[in-house]
Structure 1
Amino acid sequence: MEVISQSEQKRSPSVQKYGMFPSSNLLGAIMKVRREKQLNAVADDVLALTAVVGPILSGVLNALKADVVAEAGGASDVKLKMLPRLYRPGDGDVGICFEYAVHEAMNNGDARVTERIHDAMRFCRIRPNETKSILFGIEKSGAVQLIATAKNILTDESRTLAGKVGQPPKLLRRLNMLAAAFRRPTTRLALPSSIRGLWKADLFVGSLDSQQWVGTSVKINPAQLEGAAGLRIGIVPTRQGVSDKVRLDEHRGLVICPLHHDADFMQIFYEAWRVVQAFMNADAKIPKESILPRPVDREICRILEERREFPVVEVVEAMKVFGQPELMATDVEDVRLEDVKGDTETSVVVAPVSRATR
């Protein structure tokens, strides 16, 4: 259990600068104790890969040209066996799939991603309680991406935090304008200056509890990460020789959130990307052992080949059943500070709880 005392807050520059924790005297008040509990151990390789292959297939499907999808009867009717025949590889495809994978990982409670993003959200003064990701995909480089509906997540009071002085703009009413701003540069001038670059967002990351959201850029190539008015977080893979800490990049105006590689999320993502590439090159069948020598990779392809006659969207849903279940759960408990023993005046308690054992 980690306890942040008021005396420690006064000594911490990051607390003073970003206001992550309150520093007022709270004795006698109600304090919320937030516990994050790991529900399941990190799964074996097959389950871990399965959980990432689904989002990658979604990314490949939505990277198809609009006219090609229309000829096939629409995205919902494209069968898995047709995907290799309709798909034409492009430079930005892995980036699109990376966006989908990060989005799904966060909404599935994958601790390898959520713990890093939670740290970034704290920089933005959002307490990561009931966190969610909204995929804001729009037409990019001739590819069609899904615009995930936000109506069941956002409310009329949902706001996007732009890091500027003043009332944060409401998000729900501006989604259509943001989509239009991507296609028509003249529309961007109609956006408030504080969020004029928000149309560049790939995700909106936020808290269901507070309905505070931040525009998030997701780049597989860290060199392509750019700041813009309204964007607050940049998610990238870690790079050798560059700090892997969640940190503020004052030049870009972004909180940089690197995702780890070795034995972590980025390694699983690249392995899943190679599996999907090999499966597609083998005409939606199990590739030769010389191409995928690992039994784990071929097992994923076997699962896919069995479903090659089904639409891709149905296969992706089926993959969720076999993938890693939700990893994290959050409990919030009210505690009176006057009941806390000792001389330290406590304002925040963070208590990570390991997975329950039998």
Structure 2
Amino acid sequence: MDKPAVSFIVQSDPPDEYGRALYAVCRSILRALLDQLGKDELEIIQSNRDEVSLKQLAYVARLDRDKGMRGDGFEWAVHEALMGQENRVSDLVGRAMNRASKHIGASAVPSSVMFGYERAKHLGFMDAVVDEAGTDARLLPDGRGRPFQFGPWVRAAAAGPESTLLQGTRIEQIWKTDLFVTDAVGERYLAATVKSQWRQLEGGKGLRLAIVPEAKDLRSGVSFNKKTGLWMVALPDPDGFMGLFNDAYSAIAETIYSLGKHTQSKYWSKPSAKAQKIQDQLVKAANASVLEIEDALNDAAQQNLVSIRQQLVSVQAPPWLHLGKAAPKILAPKPRFDRID
């Protein structure tokens, strides 16, 4: 029996800008949750990664921010916002890149390559990273001297803090990188660390940028942090990207609480009315695979409409994220998301 086709409600008019962006950021957070699943979790739910349903994900997802759910979701959201040229993020990151390197222009339009040495265990991850950067890519560390060829040194960074090849170099701690960012030319890369709490930032040889949320003791914008030696991008909250991310995160978290039967969150952290509409639709799609829901959220974001001023383009998940396609298909109705008015 064939699996029912998955489709979203077709809309003749685009949702408003905030609603459209909510769909896109929810997609990024779900993608991060799927990325988090390890061998033990997959064994518990007896599923391949690419067959995991939203309900199964809810049972094993980590909701405690100390265990990384929020931080990983934030990292994915920033990465995909840069890839989609979402100016809530890209404008500030482009300014920081220009200040960090004279070789990158003031009007740079940044893009991103995701790293994180802990992901190197995924089959095909390093090949995907190096191939995406290209053979002409170079790493720009701080200080004088020639840049480093991207491929060989990023492969060395995959070994983490134990890497002997990095020791004594100007990029000795590049293994701490979360994202490698570049401009439209795509030949000069800067190593960036992404944290959901700016006080958790750590500098290191080879790191150039930090991307964090605005905080009560950290104003939004671009500034240089002398303690870490990093150019720091603080994303605005609540009227910028962080307000959007927090709302989407709340919607996903409430969905996970509900489907996974976890202890409910605090009443003051509830999602907005628009985000609650997404939450309600996610709950109805509990038995659909997370991959189907990602695709459906892409469709709902209406990203190909020329009338949308800011576009979060569809970002394909890397091949190392969704592994194992031999298991039987799980029958489930395709999720559909209604327009947010």
How far apart are residue 70 of structure 1 and its match? 4.7
Native 8 Å contact 1:106 1:133 kept in 2: yes
Q: Secondary structure at the match of 1:282?
A: helix
Q: Where do 1:4-83 residues align within 5 Å?
A: 43-70=16-43, 72-83=46-57
Q: For 1:144-184, what per-residue CA distance to the aligned partner results, in whole angstroms no more than 9, with x for missing partners?
A: 8994823453121101110121110011222322111x2xx
Q: Which amino acid aligns with 2:249?
A: W
How far apart are residue 205 of structure 1 and its match? 0.6
2:169 aligned with 1:196, yes or no? Answer: no
Point out the structure with the larger strand share. Answer: 1
Native 8 Å contact 1:66 1:144 kept in 2: no
- Highest RCO, 1 vs 2 (Cα 8 Å, sep ≥ 6): 1
Q: Where do 1:214-233 residues align within 5 Å?
A: 214-233=190-209
2:134 aligned with 1:155, yes or no? Answer: yes
Counterpart of 1:313 in structure 2 is 291
Distance 1:65 1:122 in 2: 38
Q: For 1:314-337, what per-residue CA distance to the aligned partner results, in whole angstroms no more than 9, with x for missing partners?
A: 3213212222637569xxxxxxxx
Q: Secondary structure at the match of 2:143?
A: coil
Distance 1:251 1:103 in 2: 25
Q: For 1:254-311, what per-residue CA distance to the aligned partner results, in whole angstroms no more than 9, with x for missing partners?
A: 10111000221101111111111111111179x9xx8958441232023323433322
2:60 aligned with 1:86, yes or no? Answer: yes
Residues matched between the structures, number = 282
2:276 aligned with 1:298, yes or no? Answer: yes
Native 8 Å contact 2:173 2:206 kept in 1: yes
Q: Using a 3 Å threshold, how does the CA distance of structure 1 residues 131 and 147 change in structure 2: closer, same or farther?
A: same
Distance 2:285 2:168 in 1: 47
Q: Using a 3 Å threshold, how does the CA distance of structure 1 residues 167 and 179 change in structure 2: closer, same or farther?
A: same
Distance 1:175 1:136 in 2: 9
Distance 1:237 1:293 in 2: 18
Root mean square deviation of aligned Cα: 3.1
Counterpart of 1:272 in structure 2 is 248
Distance 1:254 1:146 in 2: 30
Q: For 1:223-245, what per-residue CA distance to the aligned partner results, in whole angstroms no more than 9, with x for missing partners?
A: 11111001000111112243433
Counterpart of 2:85 in structure 1 is 109
Distance 2:178 2:48 in 1: 23
Q: Which amino acid aligns with 2:254?
A: A
Which of 147, 153, 158 lines up with 1:179 in the alignment? 158
Native 8 Å contact 1:137 1:147 kept in 2: no
Native 8 Å contact 1:138 1:147 kept in 2: no
2:244 aligned with 1:263, yes or no? Answer: no
Counterpart of 2:336 in structure 1 is none
Q: For 1:188-214, what per-residue CA distance to the aligned partner results, in whole angstroms no more than 9, with x for missing partners?
A: 454561111100011011124151110
Native 8 Å contact 1:56 1:101 kept in 2: yes
Native 8 Å contact 1:138 1:146 kept in 2: no
How far apart are residue 109 of structure 1 and its match? 1.3
Native 8 Å contact 2:157 2:166 kept in 1: no
Q: Which runs of 5+ in 2 are unaligned?
A: 1-13, 312-341
Q: Which runs of 5+ in 1 are unaligned?
A: 1-40, 330-358
Q: Which amino acid aligns with 1:251?
A: K
Distance 2:153 2:20 in 1: 38
Native 8 Å contact 2:181 2:189 kept in 1: yes
